[in-house]
Amino acid sequence: MWLLEQDPTGEFRLTKHPPNDKIPEIPPYAILSHTRGDEEVLFRDLAGGTAKNKAGYAKIQFCGEQAERDGLRYFWVDTCCIDKSDAGELTCRRCSTGMLPYFRRGL
């Protein structure tokens, strides 16, 4: 699963969790619940460094700031934490059954 993290300079970066099979823990994280609008930030925008150019970036900033106020280092936003170019992340089985435990663990 991909989570967002704000680095010390205030920039957001995608981080993979768990990072490998030897570290099975997924850290506590916030989940942004939102309505979709124009120019949502996608995974490829964050990975490619073009996220700030989209109107939806304000939601990412808000969620990161709120997560920090709540004492959380990581947060998840559906529009940009799912790599839609990865077929494994888009399969119905994973979306319907695989993501449910992650939603339950979000704070």
- Between CA 51 and CA 24 the distance in angstroms is 29
pLDDT classification of 88: cutoffs 50, 70, 90: low
The closest alpha carbon to 17, from 7, 32, 34, 29, belongs to 29
Residue 28 has pLDDT above 70, yes or no: yes
The closest alpha carbon to 4, from 24, 40, 23, 31, belongs to 31
What percentage of the chain has pLDDT greater than the value 90?
27
pLDDT of residue 44: 92
- Between CA 1 and CA 23 the distance in angstroms is 13
Least confident of 6-10, 24-28, 61-65, 84-88: 84-88
pLDDT of residue 74: 92
Q: Please tell me the pTM assigned to this model.
A: 0.74
